[in-house]
Structure 1
Amino acid sequence: MTSSNSLTNKREHLFRRLALLTVITIYLVIIAGGIVRSTGSGMGCPDWPRCFGRWIPPTEASQLPSNYQQIYGAKLKGEIEFNAAKTWIEYINRLVGAFSGLLVFALLITSVSYLKNDKRVFYGSLLSFILIGLNGWLGSRVVAAELAPYLVTLHMLLAILVVFSLLYVMTVSYTGHAEVEQIAGKKSLVTGILLITMVLSVIQVLIGTQVREAIDEVIQRMGYSERHRWIDSLDYRFYVHRSFSLIILAFHLAVIYQLRKFSKGKGLLANLTNVLVVLVVVEILSGVVLAYFAVPAVAQPIHLTLAIVILGVQFTTLMLLNADRISKNQEAHLPHYSKV
């Protein structure tokens, strides 16, 4: 192996590690966003990019102007008494988001080494950078619009697209460096069921954002002291979301059955199938906890994050099901290939 090939391999190894770290960080951003929503901290910083006009948020009301209630009262949704916990929850969410943006930028820079071997990695990284930049800008619009529901939903959709684009880049870069078992026929059937499951799962996530909006409306009427009455006060959106989960479960069972039936050997697909089983069960249990145990704040970000993780596992599985096509496109450049 020449020194040039060795350097290229080191760069690509670094890229794969960085891609994995970036995906994990994006999920941390989603967790942070879920915590912001569950604690009602969305307007903890009523301005953007600063927080109460400061780069470092205040920790007590004495650090704010004496007339801060008049300045920020409308944006604070009636909670005109300064709440340091909510302010710092929102600020930390912004910091994690900014860090993820830096990682995606670093990923774009390191993806330049793939321009000769596989341009999809570079252009996928470029797309990820554009999407996360757009979502960062949209986050500022969410604050400016005082958590307008349609912007919150669009913000979530873009986050899902960022996850998909990063997982695409990571999966393509790992092709040839991990073993993927063969599917004995029926691949088109498994792929079709999986695609339908993904579409239904995205719809379920969007319905979930509407349920969250319904909960916010209930909170405005009842306050946090009446948490035990929130679920009983929800409208049809909650019941659609709950009933739709049964359809989602049925399609997941079909996907899992088909993958286990037609997979040959124990590779990434088998492992992802096992992970998918666990995730779906835990997701359902977290939904039960939310519905029957007075919507505990800790369960809300878990429920949301698990839904996005499940989408990520579905997308990665879909990519690996077609790993033979990816490998064929890389044969001219990679010395080793996955067993597909």
Structure 2
Amino acid sequence: MTGRIVARYRKLVFFTWFLTLDLIMFGAFVRLTDSGLGCPDWPGCYGKITPVGASAHIEQALSSMPYGAVSFSKAWIEMVHRYVGSILGMLIIAIVYFSWRYRRELGHSLRLAVVTLVAVCVQGAFGAWTVTHQLMPLVVTSHLLGGMLLLALMTWLAAREKTHAPVSALAVRWRPWMICGLALLFIQIALGGWVSTNYAALACMDFPTCHGQWVPDMDFRNGYSLVRGLGVLPSGEMISQQALTAIHWVHRNFALLVFVYLGLLGWKMRTDPGLRGPAHLLLALLAAQLLTGLTTIFFQWPLLIAVLHNGGAAGLTLVCVTLLVRLARAKDRIPT
């Protein structure tokens, strides 16, 4: 009986983890296709459950603004994202129930599952605010970070259910370095989200210089003015090219720091049998992330590459969390 319960719980956790990763990728697709306001209200679409019921409103919006934020395709993209998000929330509720109902059989604390449930509720709130605040960059970037945090928590839940080769006790020395690496990664994801939500991906069209200069003319104060609407400054003026350049330049150069730091860390950890698999994956994802980032510039932000770049950030998050979970197990084995 206990074996069946544990097997069902693991299937539930792994499926929910996979759906979380898919939802982050699809969320990037929503953002990059400008579908975030495909249904400009929440939680429905013009008060209806599906865009089919809102067809009259969508037709009216299309006729008044043919190239605006609303269309049938964008409405469906946005609503499918919301539907999947709702399913994800229900699955996490099921994980909490399993964790509480069978806590003795599973041998896990309920705490992590409850934190994950709180995180998905907060994430749902940010999803609503993304629409009601008209794609305000700060809200959209926070929504992206919330998605990555949710993925990190789900990875934690999934990683502790997976067996692997033993991690040597000496490897515990890498744990604080990995925590620092994960923090740097989240800062870089926030910077990347700020680039995406401000449409600054093409602010620099050359590489490694920007506008032919290592340090181009930039406006950091307005570029990183947080409380403002999309494309405008707090004063109501349109955001300048210099501000967009600052946003892009900071993300590009901080990426170099993250690449070198995590690359060296992954190279060191690959020698431990229990860390070798995720360490090699970390190195591969860093290389892929560099490639998609450069391709985004040289090919002027193609949709598929931009989505893959977001997916690479998600992949790096889950690999770093997996390494942390394994390093924590190594710490638990150190004799006292």
TM over 0.5: yes
Helix, strand or coil for the counterpart of 2:184? helix
Say if 1:124 and 1:167 are closer, same or farther in 2 by CA, change over 3 A: same
CA distance in 2, matches of 1:181, 1:168: 18
Helix, strand or coil for the counterpart of 2:270? helix
Aligned residues: 299
The match for 1:185 is 170
Match of residue 320, structure 1, among 318, 322, 326: 326
- State yes or no: 1:258 paired with 2:268: yes
**1:282 Cα deviation after fit:** 0.9
**1:91 Cα deviation after fit:** 1.1
CA distance in 2, matches of 1:12, 1:105: 17
Helix, strand or coil for the counterpart of 1:43? coil
CA distance in 2, matches of 1:108, 1:146: 33
The match for 1:25 is 19
The match for 1:45 is 39
Structure 1 or 2: larger helix share? 1
TM-score (norm 2): 0.80
CA distance in 1, matches of 2:86, 2:200: 26
The answer to which of 7-16 and 199-208 deviates more is: 7-16
**1:112 Cα deviation after fit:** 2.2
TM-score (norm 1): 0.79
- Is the 8 Å Cα contact of residues 28 and 96 (structure 1) preserved in structure 2? no
Match of residue 239, structure 1, among 241, 249, 256: 249
- State yes or no: 1:64 paired with 2:56: yes
Percent of pairs identical after alignment?
23
The match for 1:309 is 315
- State yes or no: 1:137 paired with 2:129: no
The match for 2:82 is 94
Describe how 1:116-155 pairs up with structure 2 within 5 A. Answer: 116=104, 120-155=108-143
Helix, strand or coil for the counterpart of 1:215? coil
Q: Which amino acid aligns with 1:237?
A: I
The match for 1:202 is 186
Helix, strand or coil for the counterpart of 1:64? helix
Match of residue 103, structure 1, among 71, 91, 98: 91
Say if 1:254 and 1:309 are closer, same or farther in 2 by CA, change over 3 A: same
Larger relative contact order, structure 1 or 2 (CA cutoff 8 Å, min sep 6): 1
Q: Which ranges of structure 1 fall in alignment gaps of 5 or more residues?
A: 1-6, 222-230, 329-340
Say if 1:284 and 1:80 are closer, same or farther in 2 by CA, change over 3 A: closer
Provide the aligned C-alpha RMSD in A: 3.0
1:181-223 CA distances to partner (integer Å, 9 max, x unpaired)?
33362532x22222221111111000001111331798998xx
